């Protein structure tokens, strides 16, 4: 993967604008995009989409300034391939390879550096956005388009699509040394996560990456990553671990320390889509040996899920077996760190899905305490630690499954605990509640400015009405 350069980017932008012009007036504007990491169905349409085929690369890297100009549809896999040649990575690298930079900014990516670097949009310096009006504007935190810049995170394309983003990068060495620290209850893990998120260390050792895995109410782990150039001091084995043939999440329970290259650390969850590859039998050693290594990837599994959603294969098999109908529960939520034990206790009682992923985060403070920016479309309090809880699977319910009672109950409980949930998956809020949670009035105002003819679906239409 090489940088594409400014000329190629300009040509891709012209093709994008031409595809916009080809969409009949009054018809909705959407991306013509082959891949997606969304987990909510959309209404089918025959309208031609925006041509983003030339917007999937890195335009340029400035190693001195530690910045990159990146096209909006560039995957993090391709972005990291380029930045690592300079010993740099984005401030936050979401854990799945084919998440795009534009998607992570407009849809809120997260990962283990989020406890110190916030969310991906917080390291964006400027971005070019194709608006619903068919214009490309450059938005920054201080220019005449700052209202678009501020509202863009968590807007999911309802305000336009990023064609170019200039982002900050941070230096990394070659390796990530890991410690898997076990806790016997959620309260103890919560206390540790809160302390590390503020101090940036544990037992006197620096922590560069922090996430957790809860296997059961009395078996929970925080995984502490430390960047290092000295593998011999961080690992007892002969070489760094890789998790293509082996399964990463199982290693958390099996070893107290580990060592990976930084690149392998970034994609440690992708090979098995956290633990969800088990649904395809891929955690059976015999099947795993037959499954091509190059196809052990989250995007492959996502396509398989898409086929099942389209044709209802598993549901048909369940009916033949006379098994109860299942509700899909695929969600990431955030609650204040002190509310995590209450949420997990409720979740174990009412949902019962394990393991779950835990990822602490705080708004980034680039210039020290008190310097965090707030973002109305996903309101988090400066100086407060939150924990993302990710859980992905199905729950056997029976005839009531289509009404999504479990998902609705999760939304209610998260709201009671002062939390929020990501909108990449299905949502069931009524419009008034949704607008209160995600600053609907300001979104409508900004949308009116940049999409006066309503060519783009609103955020509520996208997230809840599935348009």
Position 316 scores a pLDDT of 72
pLDDT for 104-113, tens place per residue? 999 999 999 9
Provide the pLDDT confidence category of residue 448 given band limits of 50, 70 and 90.
very high
- Rounded to an integer, what distance in angstroms lies between the CA atom of residue 273 and that of residue 95? 9
Please report the beta strands in 119-198, taking only residues with DSSP state E, as ranges in sequence order: 124-130, 136-140, 161-171, 175-183
Burial class for 258, CB neighbours closer than 10 Å (0-12, 13-18, 19+): buried
- Rounded to an integer, what distance in angstroms lies between the CA atom of residue 66 and that of residue 168? 6
- Rounded to an integer, what distance in angstroms lies between the CA atom of residue 325 and that of residue 395? 9
- Rounded to an integer, what distance in angstroms lies between the CA atom of residue 275 and that of residue 279? 9
Selection from 417, 419, 431, 436 nearest residue 464 by Cα: 431
| Cα angle value 365/206/115 (rounded, 5°) | 35
Provide the pLDDT confidence category of residue 312 given band limits of 50, 70 and 90.
low
Specify the DSSP element, H or E, that contains 202.
strand 201-202
Is the domain covering 312-428 a CATH 3.30.1360.120 domain?
Answer: no
Residues 6+ apart with CB under 8 A from 450: 129, 131, 132, 133, 137, 148, 159, 160
User: For 408-428, what is the mean pLDDT?
Assistant: 93
- Rounded to an integer, what distance in angstroms lies between the CA atom of residue 373 and that of residue 418? 19
Q: Which of 41-45, 94-98, 222-226, 415-419 has the lowest mean pLDDT?
A: 41-45
Position 366 scores a pLDDT of 87
Position 396 scores a pLDDT of 86
162 pLDDT higher than 80: yes
Position 26 scores a pLDDT of 81
Selection from 455, 458, 454 nearest residue 438 by Cα: 458
Written as six digits, the tokens of 303 are 């396509």
Chain centroid, CA 427 distance in Å: 16
By three-state DSSP, how is residue 459 classified? helix
Q: Give the HSE-up count for residue 229: Cα atoms under 13 Å, Cβ half-sphere.
A: 4
Provide the pLDDT confidence category of residue 73 given band limits of 50, 70 and 90.
very high
Asked if residues 29 and 456 have their Cβ atoms less than 8 Å apart, the reply is yes
Provide the pLDDT confidence category of residue 307 given band limits of 50, 70 and 90.
confident
428 pLDDT higher than 60: yes
Written as six digits, the tokens of 228 are 């290092």
- Rounded to an integer, what distance in angstroms lies between the CA atom of residue 419 and that of residue 199? 23
Q: Model pTM greater than 0.85?
A: yes
Position 46 scores a pLDDT of 60
Selection from 227, 297, 222 nearest residue 263 by Cα: 227
- Rounded to an integer, what distance in angstroms lies between the CA atom of residue 192 and that of residue 43? 44
Written as six digits, the tokens of 164 are 């170019």
Position 44 scores a pLDDT of 57
Question: Which is higher by pLDDT, 315 or 342?
Answer: 342
Longest dimension (CA), the chain: 64
Asked if residues 393 and 329 have their Cβ atoms less than 8 Å apart, the reply is yes
CA distances to 317, 331, 351, 403, 422 from 326, rounded to whole Å, are: 12, 15, 12, 11, 22
174 pLDDT higher than 80: yes
Position 39 scores a pLDDT of 62
Residues 6+ apart with CB under 8 A from 341: 185, 186, 187, 190
pLDDT for 33-42, tens place per residue? 666 666 666 6
Looking at the chain, the whole-number percentage of residues with pLDDT higher than 70 is: 93
Residues 6+ apart with CB under 8 A from 232: none
Domain boundaries, the chain: 5-172+447-463, 175-269, 312-428
- Rounded to an integer, what distance in angstroms lies between the CA atom of residue 151 and that of residue 441? 11
Burial class for 368, CB neighbours closer than 10 Å (0-12, 13-18, 19+): exposed
Angle between helices 313-320 and 298-311 (to 10 degrees): 60
Pseudo-torsion of CA 278, 281, 285, 290, nearest 10°?
-130
5-172+447-463: CATH class? alpha beta
User: Mean pLDDT for the chain?
Assistant: 91
Q: What is the CA radius of gyration of the chain?
A: 22
- Rounded to an integer, what distance in angstroms lies between the CA atom of residue 464 and that of residue 153? 18
Q: Give the HSE-up count for residue 1: Cα atoms under 13 Å, Cβ half-sphere.
A: 19
């Amino acid at each position: 993967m090489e940088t594409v350069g400014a000329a190629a980017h300009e040509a891709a932008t012209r093709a994008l604008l031409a595809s916009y012009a080809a969409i009949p007036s009054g018809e909705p504007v959407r991306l013509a995009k082959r891949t997606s990491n969304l987990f909510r169905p959309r209404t089918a349409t025959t309208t031609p989409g925006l041509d983003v085929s030339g917007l999937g690369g890195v335009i340029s890297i400035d190693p001195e300034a530690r910045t990159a100009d990146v096209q909006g549809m560039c995957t993090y896999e391709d972005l990291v391939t380029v930045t690592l040649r300079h010993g740099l990575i984005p401030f936050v690298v979401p854990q799945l390879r084919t998440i795009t930079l534009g998607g992570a900014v407009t849809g809120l990516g997260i990962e283990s550096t989020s406890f110190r670097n916030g969310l991906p949009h917080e390291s964006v310096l400027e971005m070019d956005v194709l608006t619903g009006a068919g214009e490309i504007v450059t938005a920054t935190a201080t220019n005449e388009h700052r209202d678009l810049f501020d509202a863009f995170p968590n807007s999911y394309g309802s305000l336009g699509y990023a064609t170019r983003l200039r982002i900050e990068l941070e230096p990394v060495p070659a390796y990530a040394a890991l410690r898997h620290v076990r806790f016997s209850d959620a309260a103890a893990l919560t206390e540790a996560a809160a302390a590390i998120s503020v101090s940036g260390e544990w037992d006197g050792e620096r922590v560069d990456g922090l996430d957790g895995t809860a296997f059961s109410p009395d078996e929970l782990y925080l995984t502490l990553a430390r960047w290092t150039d000295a593998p011999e001091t961080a690992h007892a084995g002969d070489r760094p671990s890789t998790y293509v043939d082996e399964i990463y999440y199982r290693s958390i329970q099996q070893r107290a320390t580990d060592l990976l290259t930084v690149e392998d650390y970034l994609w440690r969850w992708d090979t098995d889509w956290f633990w969800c590859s088990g649904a395809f039998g891929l955690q059976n050693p015999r099947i795993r040996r037959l499954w091509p290594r190059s196809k052990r990837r989250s995007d492959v599994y996502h396509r398989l899920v898409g086929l099942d959603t389209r044709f209802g294969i598993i549901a048909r098999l369940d009916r033949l077996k006379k098994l109860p109908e299942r509700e899909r529960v695929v969600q990431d939520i955030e609650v204040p760190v002190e509310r995590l034990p209450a949420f997990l206790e409720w979740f174990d009682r009412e949902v019962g899905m394990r393991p779950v992923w835990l990822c602490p985060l705080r708004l980034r403070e680039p210039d020290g305490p008190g310097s965090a920016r707030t973002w109305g479309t996903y309101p988090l309090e400066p100086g407060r630690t939150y924990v993302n809880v990710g859980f992905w699977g199905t729950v056997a319910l029976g005839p009531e499954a289509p009404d999504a009672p479990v998902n609705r109950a999760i939304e209610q409980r998260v709201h009671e605990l002062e939390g929020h949930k990501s909108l990449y998956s299905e949502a069931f809020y009524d419009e008034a509640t949704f607008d209160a949670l995600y600053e609907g009035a300001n979104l409508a105002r900004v949308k009116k400015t940049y999409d006066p003819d309503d060519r783009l679906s609103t955020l509520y239409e996208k997230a809840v009405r599935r348009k």
